[in-house]
Amino acid sequence: MTFVRSVCPHDCPSTCALEVERIDSRTIGRVRGSEANPYTDGVICAKVARYAERAHHPDRLKTPLRRVGPKAEPGGRNRFEPCSWDEALDMTAAALGEAAATHGATSVWPYFYAGTMGLVQRDGIDRLRHVMGYSREDDTICIRLSDSGWKAGAGVKRGADSREMAESDLIVFWGTNAVSTQVNAMHHAALARKNRGAKIACVDVYRNPTMEAADIPLLLRPGTDGALACAIMHVLFKENYADRDYLVRYTDADARLARHLEARTPAWAAAVTGLPEEEIVAFARLYGRTKRSFIRLGYGFTRQRNGAAAMHAASCLPAVTGAWRHKGGGALYSQSGIYKNLDQSVIMGLDRLDRRVRALDQSRIGAVLLGEPEALLGGPPVKALFIQNTNPMVVAPDLAKVRAGFARADLFVCVHEQFMTETAAAADVVLPATTFLEHDDIYRAGAHTWLQIGRKAIEPYAEARSNHEVLQGLARRLGAEHPGFDMTAWELIDDMLRRSGLPTAEQVWADGGVDFSKRFEDMHFLNGFAHPDKKFHFAPDWKSVGADHIAMPALPDHVEIIEKADAGHPFKMVVAPARQFLNSTFTETPGSQKREVRPTALIHPADMARLNIAEGNRVRLGNRRASVVVHARSFDGVREGVTVVEGIWPNKSFAEGLAVNALIGDDRAPPAGGAAFHDTAVWIKKA
């Protein structure tokens, strides 16, 4: 058996180092985690361990396709016929050229996101964009809210090394379901529990597998994490757990902070969060007396209109206790800022970037395609979309608008994909894409500090081509000139490494990657945080974070700008990630489908009884945006008045062909935009 080294490309902070069994030049077998990488440590999730069923799935796109006949009505059948690569690329280049000639270059919108996280294959689309002057993309859909909140306090997106969890006495998973979505993090936490008796706490809105595995569950209402963080700080100050010396040396804390927190009592937070007051106090005391306390902050709790403020408030905790001083202490949201000196200029065509070109909000793709003037930022309508690595017909907010936008007869759409996703089915031209096993790429991580190369392990499936090859083909036809289009993917990797002062691609590959971790003092900000005054900011300069800063609090706080439940919409709905899916990826694999079963609303038994709903009944969830039908499951692991729908299931999995994101608003959350995926008020009725 031959196992070849690779890297998981999926939208998951773990970026696992993989070993892939290569059966022959076109076939893989088992996939396992590499023990050579100290973060992966031999552990990967089940869905990627089963990757052979995805790589060799009979539904992989084999050839380029072009639409036959008009776009189908929702639920109808779109018809395509195979064509050659030359025909498909010629058609696409002609449509992009015609839109630009008639309506201006910004009427073309290259649209992408995180279907692959490889720097060459994911970000190369920006090179074409910048060279051609096409509309830019404001990347708000995933991390904008969490980034805004973390950077407001720490100034840079990095934190304590996650391997230190194994040396902690208290690990707090805050708004991240690590068992389902970050299996390695749970592995390191479990080591700490086994070897040193560490406690694991989980702050979340439902009893997910991580909360089930935790010693201390903190089950709160959606959108109230800022209140919990403030009440913990209240206790830390009141009961003398605050590290006064640390606060003076490393933070901007002044008398205003303690005064501000005086009113944020556990009783106040209990009323806001739904947590019993005594649970808040007990946890605050445990956190206060445990110096080696590691908070793993996730994205989930920030997908609220007040999410940036909540992230900032939670990130304040180790600055109050001075946990940053201790091995195994501090916090981690993401390490992606540790790679800031990587020079991606050629890959992304940054020498041709013009910041005056409008940047359309990717989370508002429905509004953009429907021509809402405010979404178009005063520019022309979007007439042509070229899409790689994302499936907005399922994952974007306000799906009814997205669907109506894609149905426009005057809109040309080309989608480069591995499967006939619902976005691909709405296209005029569909191009078959390689998987990570079939091309070269290089990967940063969020949960750890390694830069790793994934080399082509098998030949491309059928006629599939990599993103980079498709961009080269379009660039030739469009007359887009840039050195990056003349290089292979491997040459782009090598060039980036050379520009960044790193070893060659061959060397990095041979070494299994480069570890960017810094000394303990730097990882723990003991040489200062990344603001000019080197302090952690309890009082952020929100103006420097985003234009919409008026809604942000002067000091850490709970902000009442969430979509509140009311008499007409008595439930708060959270669309949490499913364990066997990753966004809309893996919804096509039988192993994942079998385990996830069907779209289901988890509803508290008291709410089920009140609404006269029985287990397994079909229920309709709705609000002013849309309504969808799912099955109900009685579940006492949510607060009353909260429902959780794990996904992301395709539209076709829902009775009326419209997926649950149709209920979610596409408005920009402060201070810098971001989609509030878990901040939705709905009504529930028996269907």
What is the binding site for ligand SF4 (CB under 6 A)?
8, 10, 12, 14-16, 44-45, 48, 183, 582
Cβ 448 to ligand SF4 shortest distance, Å: 10
Nearer to ligand SF4, 387 or 582 (CB): 582
| Number of other residues whose CB lies within 10 A of the CB of residue 530 | 15
Alpha helices by DSSP H, listed for 263-363, are 266-273, 277-289, 307-315, 317-321, 345-348
Contact yes or no for 102/383 (Cβ under 8 A): yes
| Number of other residues whose CB lies within 10 A of the CB of residue 51 | 24
Residues 168 and 292: their CA atoms lie apart, in Å, by 5
Contact yes or no for 678/588 (Cβ under 8 A): no
Nearer to ligand SF4, 34 or 651 (CB): 34
Q: At a CB cut-off of 8 Å and minimum separation 6, what does 317 contact? A: 229, 232, 233, 236, 287, 295, 323, 331
Contact yes or no for 185/356 (Cβ under 8 A): no
Contact yes or no for 21/31 (Cβ under 8 A): yes
Contact yes or no for 17/37 (Cβ under 8 A): yes
DSSP state of 539: S
CA distances from 405 to 74, 368, 386, 408, 411 (A): 12, 8, 14, 6, 8
Residues 186 and 212: their CA atoms lie apart, in Å, by 12
DSSP state of 10: S
Backbone angles phi, psi at 119, to 5 degrees: -70, -35
Residues 120 and 150: their CA atoms lie apart, in Å, by 27
Residues 319 and 309: their CA atoms lie apart, in Å, by 16
For the four alpha carbons of 600, 603, 605 and 609, in that order, the dihedral sign comes to negative
Report the amino acid identity of residue 221.
R
Residues 663 and 342: their CA atoms lie apart, in Å, by 39
| Number of other residues whose CB lies within 10 A of the CB of residue 631 | 16
Strands in 333-491 per DSSP E: 359-361, 384-388, 412-417, 429-432, 441-443, 450-454
Residues 46 and 371: their CA atoms lie apart, in Å, by 42
Would you mind telling me the total number of residues written for the chain in this entry? 687
Residues 417 and 193: their CA atoms lie apart, in Å, by 42
Q: How many H-runs (helices) and E-runs (strands) does the chain carry?
A: 27, 25
